Structure 1
Amino acid sequence: MTKSPIALTNSRYRLGYHVAAPTGWINDPNGFCYFKGYYHIFYQHHPYSAEWGPMHWGHARSKDLVHWESLPIGLEPGSPEDKDGCFSGSAIVKDDIMYLFYTGHHYYNDGDPDHFWQNQNMAYSEDGIHFTKYENNPIIDKEPEDNTHHYRDPKVWEHEGTYYMILGSQENDGLGRAILYASQDLKSWDYLGSVSKATDLKGEGFMWECPDFFHLDGKDILLLSPQGIDPQEEKYLNLYQTGYFVGEMDYQTAKFTRGEFHELDKGHDFYATQTTLAPDGRRIVFGWMAMWESHMPEKEDGWAGALTLPRELRLKDGKLVMTPVKELEALRVDEGKTETLTVSDATLIAKDASHAEILFSLPTTDATLTFKDAQEQDILSLVYTAETNKFVLRRNDTDEARYGTIQANDTLKYHLFIDTSSVEIFINDGETVFTERYYSESKPAVYLTTANETSVESTVYQLKADAVTYP
């Protein structure tokens, strides 16, 4: 008997312009690439419930990174090589064919969810919609001898005529690491060893998930999601982290010399990033707009999770900054309301901001940004203290605050994208970013309060609420 996807029963929290599944659960973005005039994004997906389950690859495409068309499921588990799940992976285009690389997941069926084994597989497509699993899967059948059973999430790229695959893994000593393979044809892969590993368990984690490797602004970047990093005062406060190392790759020795780990996004809801190179050379990134073990009220409505907006990555003063891609201007449905406000006490910036883009700037001073519901109760607040250059974000559904800092500057610039149940806050051109899900039965009103009477330049745009189409 053929299963039917879970039904959507309520749209109260449904997002208007973020990639999500038609129904059911999603997590990590996968297979992000540009192919035959379309950007393609896949995601980990369980279509039969709003809970994590046997992983499929959901699929959407867009010509402009703004308007997304939901497509049929790209990969389904059940083949011998991926019996219990098609876990995360990536895509690469070669000779007008899109190749997907993914981890096959297998349980030993002894009732222990941590007792599993994994392998690496490939599928391909000439049209970007229908995919055929490679007849000789798996392309890598087992982990290296010095590795535990944790090795997954292949990211593939080409460098000087050779294809490379980086995998997140765990060495036998229990420390997270990234391992590297090389190939001339995408089918036969040679193990090159560990390119980088955690220096200690508490500081860099026991498992490195979703690795991504790329060259940007003269440096090599290893972007990844470590598990098991201990909280350190105001850092590493999510259950698992997403961040990066900046360094240099020696392809001759397969070693990555790098600096310290930096978190990429300071919000509660950001994990498992994946990037691609746009045709014009920009490095674009998606993340999963959620976190493991988060409360997701939308589960009651037949869906769970979404992806962030696409963001451009750049390297500035040795650190990655993220800004919304320029194409998102096409979400605007009006010319915007621009005004100069005199602010001290709580001043309304935007009303009924369910699908809105807000930009405002002000001379640096203590400032508080607040979202309120129809009963004037706080949904979330973002407090900036000028003396310490620190932001503190609090949300009404959790006692756990999140923190970010910026360099001392004469001006504060805020850029917000608000959707039905999410907000992405970019501060000073992406120097600090907060990604948040929130849940309110009413459309939020956005207020700004400053310590001193301050002149604020503000522009508010209404955005499309139907930028993603579903079957």
Structure 2
Amino acid sequence: MDRNYDLIRQAEEMFKKYKDVVNEDEYRLHFHLMPPVGLLNDPNGFIQWQGRYHLFYQWNPFQTAHGAKFWGHYSSSNLVDWRKEKIALAPSEWYEKNGCYSGSAVEDNGILKLLYTGNVKDEYGNRETYQCLAESENGVDFIKKGVVLRLPEGYSAHFRDPKVWKRNEKWFMVIGAQTKQLEGRAVLFASNNLEDWTLIGDVAGTNLNGLQNFGYMWECPDLFRLGDNDILLVSPQGLQRTGMLYQNVYNTGYFIGTLDYETGKLEHGNFQELDRGFEFYAPQTTVDEKGRRLLFGWMGVPEQDEDLHPTISHHWIHAMTIPRELKLVNGQIYQNPVEELKKLRRNKVSKNNAIVHEEKKTFASFEGTAYELLINIHEIKAEAFEIILKDSVWIIYNKKECVFTLERKSMKTGEPEIRQCKLSNLSIIQIFVDTSSIEIFLNDGQEVFTSRMFPSVKNPNITFGSYHGKVLCSIQKWDLHQQ
């Protein structure tokens, strides 16, 4: 029997076997993309092709742990209503037998093409890596074309996640890499046909351009224009916690600069974290027909308490973020939920000029399981403003110290744990709460916190509080549901 067909059949059987168990989970999300079964991680191949959005994803259908990855596939006409498509890639060939790892999608003469990393391990765990190509005429059925790039000299086998784009009739590809000296790098290649690639040089990395000790491996790079600048979005592994920064096991952020396409070098400024929450990693962007730079991120982090997620007992783990639009504002990337998500809104309730004065306070009809909460802050004459959701997540702005805090109970210890950022003022809080996730957008996307949360019971409570003074704000809430 054909190995590709057999693997896909086995994966579909796992989906059918556990479909009811998965869907019975009280933590199953309402408006986020999730695996039908098993483990989901990196977004892959995000593209709008022939008017339809396609999002592929790293997928292990057989376990809620990392293993030989497939490419799962969703598509949508509007970024809201998603359809599960056929499995795009299964690890069936010699050059990918231990996983079809992350990559990207492009259109070439009407053909949808996927470039991805083939992962191979021998019996002793030694790794080989290959960059591979697959093609589709209908966006659903893919034919593998094989290896298009082998490992260059000077790099370890941790060399993966090709992100490809076209510029002036030439193709370029950036790859996440590690040097033989265990330094994280992003590496640039060029091609005229997507099959024959020439190494240009290192874009950025540890011990380049003043970056000392900045990670031993750089994963999932994405290189694109935003405004008049080149942006390198990347997930370095091995950053040391510094104050409020780099608090997760692995972290994601970006450099703003100017790319020299002849040398491959990016002249850039400081690294800035993209998301401050507990679970955010390996994002990928695309440009749609409206000219928007859109992003999906993985709502998870590798090796960060993954075995403690309660969804595992229902044979699934992890999800994608909501889709976001990126803009560059005063030297910083702002992220905002895409406009189309307003189609999910139902049952609006409002409270204008609400006053919270040194108390814990609730408002009639302000509760829910899956909802959007929009708070316009008119005045803070208090040391701190607090919002408590589901009695398990605390959102706190300390005006006196100019610090925003997201607090939840640790999955490991049950004790409080926090993520924070400095914020000189706070005027707007937009919160997307799903059954077991929260995404917080501050000041029209200036700072974003993405996290999973697992309240001990289904709890609809929304509570507001202030300390040593009063807060004046207007609040709107919508239930969020698919049609």
Q: Which runs of 5+ in 2 are unaligned?
A: 1-5
After TM superposition, give the deviation of residue 390 of structure 1 in Å. Answer: 0.9
Pairing partner for 2:479 from 457, 462, 468: 462
TM-superposition CA deviations, 1:296-353 (whole Å, max 9, x none): 1101101111000001111111111111111110111234434432112122256442
Distance in structure 2 (CA, Å) of the matches to 1:121 and 1:190: 15
CA deviations 1:273-308 (Å, max 9, x no partner) are 000001111111110001123231101101111000
Residue of structure 2 equivalent to 1:39: 53
- Which whole-Å CA distance do the structure 2 matches of 1:167 and 1:43 have between them? 17
Structure 1-normalised TM-score? Answer: 0.93
Q: Identity of paired residues, percent?
A: 36
Give 1:426's aligned amino acid. Answer: F
Question: In the aligned structure 2, how far is the partner of 1:203 from the partner of 1:460?
Answer: 45
Partner of 1:379: 392
2:448 counterpart (413, 430, 433): 433
Give the whole-Å Cα distance in 1 for the aligned partners of 2:368 and 2:441: 17
Structure 2 matches for 1:211-290, cutoff 5 A? 211-290=221-300
The counterpart of 1:329, out of the listed 336, 342, 361, is 342
- What are the equivalent positions in structure 2 for 1:366-405 lying under 5 Å apart? 366-372=384-390, 378-398=391-411, 399-405=416-422
Q: TM-score, normalised by structure 2?
A: 0.91
CA contact (8 A) 1:29 1:42 kept: yes
Does the Cα contact within 8 Å between 1:394 and 1:400 map onto a contact in 2?
yes
CA distance, structure 1, for counterparts of residue 27 and residue 350 of structure 2: 26
Runs of 4+ displaced beyond 4 Å: 200-203
Q: 1:118 aligns with which of 129, 145, 149?
A: 129
Residues 200 and 262, structure 2, Cα contact 8 Å, conserved in 1: no
**SS at 2:362 equivalent:** strand
Partner residue in 1 for 2:201: 193
- Aligned partners of 1:183, 1:336: CA distance in 2, in Å? 54
What residue is the counterpart of 1:158 in the other structure? 166
CA–CA separation in structure 2 for the residues paired with 1:428 and 1:201: 30
8 Å CA contact 1:201, 1:228 repeated in 2: no
Q: Does 2:62 align with 1:48?
A: yes
**1:202 CA drift (Å):** 7.0
Map 1:21-36 → 2, pairs under 5 A: 21-36=35-50
Coordinate RMSD, CA, aligned: 1.6
Residue number in structure 2 paired with 1:445: 461
User: Once the 2 structures are TM-superposed, how far is the Cα of residue 381 of structure 1 from its aligned partner?
Assistant: 0.7
Following superposition, the deviation at residue 201 of structure 1 comes to 8.3
The equivalent of 1:299 in structure 2 is 312
- Determine the C-alpha separation between the residues in 1 that align with 2:212 and 2:313: 36
State the one-letter code of the partner of 1:421. S
Distance between the aligned counterparts of 2:56 and 2:323, measured in 1? 13
Higher helix share: 2
One-letter amino acid matched to 1:334: N
1:5 touches 1:49 (CA, 8 Å); kept in 2?
no
Distance apart, 1:203 and its partner CA:
4.5
SS at match of 1:232: coil
For 1:42, the aligned partner's letter is: F
- Return the offset for 1:428: 0.6
Name the CA distance, whole Å, in 2 between partners of 1:322 and 1:384. 20
